[in-house]
Amino acid sequence: MQRFSPVLLALLVAGCGGSATEATQTFRACDGAPSFVEPNPAYAWTPNAIRLVSEELAPGVFAIYDRDAAEHGPAGIPLATSGGFVVGEDGVLMVESMINRQLFCQAVALVQAETDRPIRYVVNTSSHGDHTFGNVFLPDDVEVVQHEQTADYIAANFDEDVAFMEANFGADQGIDEIEPVAADIRVSDDGWSVDLGGVTVEARHYGFAQTPGDLFVYVPDAKVLWTGNAFVTEEPGIPWLLAGNGAAAEVTLTAVQASLPSDAIVVPGHGRPLAPAAMDFSIGYLRAMIAGVQTAVDDGLDLEATVAAVDLPDYQGYRLWDWIHKQVNVPNTYAELNQ
Ligand SMILES: [Zn+2]
């Protein structure tokens, strides 16, 4: 009977150990089977009705987005949060962790369908729960990357964001099990980058876009940019100025677009991958809306008359127009300009 020497045995064991580290990363949060529901028309979109798909935009660079994006986006129907991932020789960087367990686990499954390499980083483009809540399901060795203002905002306003998300996406979508997660890497206005092994990923800050702490994730070699909510979706979708400051949003979106090569691919916060020129509609809307509100203020109109006056027929078509334009964007802009 053949026997292995102790040295050979040690080498064999070490070899087994080496291959074990390449085994698929374990996500205990995703042990259960998904359970899909019908869309609830009361919500902008229903998290547990969403099916995500991935698309390889460049070698090792993938977008993740709502399966219905090509049909619903141009029709003005709101879409689930988009994200994606970048695969390097040393591991994976994921963009966004999604709003709840089921969407987080769908995103992780899409990563694991393409690679056995472990997820090492998750970048959140903003503080909003539909981009960050899934962080709670990450193993401890995954580093959460956020702009420092996003990290501070989540720490101070977590309960408020949970309430907003439950009001708009349902109290029956598992949002009640989310807990706040502190960022491991806090990004300053100067940005951050990481070499994943053969591919570099940047997290860029261009100034206020939809929140004070927006990050844009860019892969220079692939010319792929994730925008988060700052550029929410294609025409006829319009920006959600939940924190106001449309003037700064217009300046930032214009700068983002100008910084990109024309053949870049832009993954919006809620939609399918697009050309940079697709940002024209959001930028044009912001300019027209701000100019319209300024004229109304100059004419002495009150808020109600301003909402009626700034109807922007060229920019209508988004299913959430009556909420986002009339109840959020125009009132916030009116309050800022009527001082
Ligand atoms: Zn969002």
Query: Residue 268: inside a domain, yes or no?
Result: yes
Q: Which H, E and C letters describe 28-58, residue by residue?
A: HHHCCCCCCCCCCCCCCCCHHHCCEEEEEEE
Please tell me the predicted confidence (pLDDT) of residue 22: 53
Query: Residue 108: inside a domain, yes or no?
Result: yes
Residue type, 180: P
Q: How many domains does the chain have?
A: 1
Please tell me the predicted confidence (pLDDT) of residue 339: 86
Q: What integer is the mean pLDDT of 293-310?
A: 98
Alpha carbon distances (Å) from 135 to 28, 109, 284, 302: 13, 15, 34, 43
Query: Residue 131: inside a domain, yes or no?
Result: yes
Alpha carbon distances (Å) from 18 to 270, 288, 325: 40, 59, 56
Q: What integer is the mean pLDDT of 239-265?
A: 98
Query: Residue 310: inside a domain, yes or no?
Result: no
Give residue 1 CA to ligand 1 midpoint distance, Å: 64
Please tell me the predicted confidence (pLDDT) of residue 112: 97
Please tell me the predicted confidence (pLDDT) of residue 3: 44
Q: What integer is the mean pLDDT of 168-174?
A: 94
Give residue 161 CA to ligand 1 midpoint distance, Å: 12
Residue 176 and residue 128: Cα distance in Å, rounded? 15
Give residue 230 CA to ligand 1 midpoint distance, Å: 9
Per the CB < 8 A criterion, the answer to whether 319 and 339 are in contact is: no
**Mean per-residue pLDDT of the chain:** 94
Could you list which residues have their CB under 5 Å from ion ligand 1? 81, 128, 130, 229, 269
Per the CB < 8 A criterion, the answer to whether 77 and 70 are in contact is: no
Give residue 193 CA to ligand 1 midpoint distance, Å: 23
- At 19, the pLDDT band (50, 70, 90 cuts) reads very low
Please tell me the predicted confidence (pLDDT) of residue 123: 99
Q: What integer is the mean pLDDT of 127-153?
A: 98
Give residue 233 CA to ligand 1 midpoint distance, Å: 10
- At 5, the pLDDT band (50, 70, 90 cuts) reads very low
Please tell me the predicted confidence (pLDDT) of residue 24: 82
Q: Which domain holds residue 178?
A: 25-276
Residues with Cβ < 8 Å from 299, sequence gap 6 or more?
none
243: domain CATH number is 3.60.15.10
- Cα dihedral across residues 239, 245, 250, 256: positive or negative: negative
Give residue 185 CA to ligand 1 midpoint distance, Å: 21
Per the CB < 8 A criterion, the answer to whether 220 and 254 are in contact is: no
Query: Residue 286: inside a domain, yes or no?
Result: no
Listing from the earlier edge strand, what are the strands of the sheet with 200-204? 192-195, 200-204, 216-219, 224-228, 265-268
Tell me: pLDDT of 21 over 80: no
Tell me: pLDDT of 237 over 90: yes
Give residue 247 CA to ligand 1 midpoint distance, Å: 20
Query: Residue 331: inside a domain, yes or no?
Result: no
Tell me: pLDDT of 6 over 70: no
Query: Residue 232: inside a domain, yes or no?
Result: yes
Give residue 64 CA to ligand 1 midpoint distance, Å: 13
Give residue 18 CA to ligand 1 midpoint distance, Å: 39
Tell me: pLDDT of 17 over 50: no
Q: What integer is the mean pLDDT of 67-86?
A: 98
- At 23, the pLDDT band (50, 70, 90 cuts) reads low
Give residue 212 CA to ligand 1 midpoint distance, Å: 15
Query: Residue 183: inside a domain, yes or no?
Result: yes
Residue 48 and residue 100: Cα distance in Å, rounded? 8
Tell me: pLDDT of 11 over 90: no
pLDDT tens string 259-294? 999 999 999 999 999 999 999 999 999 999 999 999
Give residue 15 CA to ligand 1 midpoint distance, Å: 44
Residue 243 and residue 249: Cα distance in Å, rounded? 10
- At 12, the pLDDT band (50, 70, 90 cuts) reads very low
Q: Which H, E and C letters describe the chain, residue by residue?
A: CCCCCHHHHHHHHHHHHHHHCCCCCCCHHHCCCCCCCCCCCCCCCCHHHCCEEEEEEECCEEEEEECCHHHHCCCCCCCCCCEEEEECCCCEEEECCCCCHHHHHHHHHHHHCCCCCCEEEEECCCCCHHHHHHHHHCCCCCEEEEEHHHHHHHHHHHHHHHHHHHHHHCCCCCHHHCCCCCCCEEECCCCEEEECCCCEEEEECCCCCCCCCCCEEEECCCCEEEEECCCCCCCCCCCCCCCCCHHHHHHHHHHHHHHCCCCCEEEECCCCCECHHHHHHHHHHHHHHHHHHHHHHHCCCCHHHHHHHCCCHHHCCCCCHHHHHHHHHHHHHHHHHCC
Please tell me the predicted confidence (pLDDT) of residue 116: 97
327: closest CA among 318, 291, 127? 318
Per the CB < 8 A criterion, the answer to whether 47 and 170 are in contact is: yes
